[in-house]
A and B are shown apart, each in its own frame.
Chain A
Amino acid sequence: EPEVTQTPSHQVTQMGQEVILRCVPISNHLYFYWYRQILGQKVEFLVSFYNNEISEKSEIFDDQFSVERPDGSNFTLKIRSTKLEDSAMYFCASSSGPRETQYFGPGTRLLVL
């Protein structure tokens, strides 16, 4: 069964460093998403991406964040200068249509020290 994959599974970084989180969505999906979940809190939407552009972003997704689909298979989330409060689990999701089921990856646990 096709699935969304994410790398790395864990990332530890120093405050102020740049991190890139990688996702491989399900191959025939066209809509891509990033969510995050701070420990003990709810899953929060960050950004949605379609046709090589951002279709919607939340207030959390400020200028420190960017997304890219560098090739036909990867979808990345970059945090330019990490803050302590960026420590969270980051989930990538993809769907075949705007109202179709979103399938989530296993997540990347980011710890900013």
Chain B
Amino acid sequence: QKEVEQDPGPLSVPEGAIVSLNCTYSNSAFQYFMWYRQYSRKGPELLMYTYSSGNKEDGRFTAQVDKSSKYISLFIRDSQPSDSATYLCAMSAAKAAGNKLTFGGGTRVLVKP
């Protein structure tokens, strides 16, 4: 079983729709959960950062973490064509000296005008 699993997509939605993304994981030591956006051949750009279980909202983005189910989600409201990108979930355990991030494979999202 992979440590972090993410549907590769592509996920195609019309402009204005809600985009729903998710990841599952197997390592119960993960406590920090992130969503990054990556445009083609660019570096990952942080969108959301959450600790442990719960919800976090930032503008059009909502991140949810359910540690009991080992499941995290990202919702993008009122999607725009500029949201077309690959979305990467990443997670890490708590360590004293630098946390390595374990990434999912990414979901490619296409928002059509």
Contact = CB atoms under 8 A, between A and B. Distances in A.
Interface of A: 4, 31, 33, 35, 41-45, 48-51, 55-56, 58, 89, 91, 95, 98-99, 101-107, 109
Given A48-B97, A98-B97, A99-B32, A42 B103 contact: yes
The A interface, classified by DSSP as helix, strand, loop or mixed, is strand
Contacts of B94: 99
Interface of B: 32, 34, 36, 41-46, 49, 88, 90, 92, 94-106
B98 A48 contact: yes
A33 B105 CA distance: 19
Contacts of B104: 42
Nearest to A89: B41
A42 B98 contact: no
Contacts of A33: 98, 100-101
Given A41-B105, A101-B49, A56 B41 contact: no
The B interface, classified by DSSP as helix, strand, loop or mixed, is loop
A103 B105 CA distance: 19
A98 B44 contact: no
Given A99-B32, A101-B46, A103-B46, A45 B100 contact: yes
B105 A99 contact: no
A58 B100 CA distance: 9
Given A42-B105, A43-B90, A105-B43, 11 more contacts: A31-B98, A33-B101, A42-B104, A45-B101, A48-B97, A48-B98, A55-B98, A56-B98, A89-B41, A99-B92, A103-B46
A51 B97 CA distance: 9
Given A42-B105, A42-B106, A43-B88, A56 B100 contact: yes
B105 A102 contact: no
Contacts of B36: 104
B18 to A, nearest CB: 25
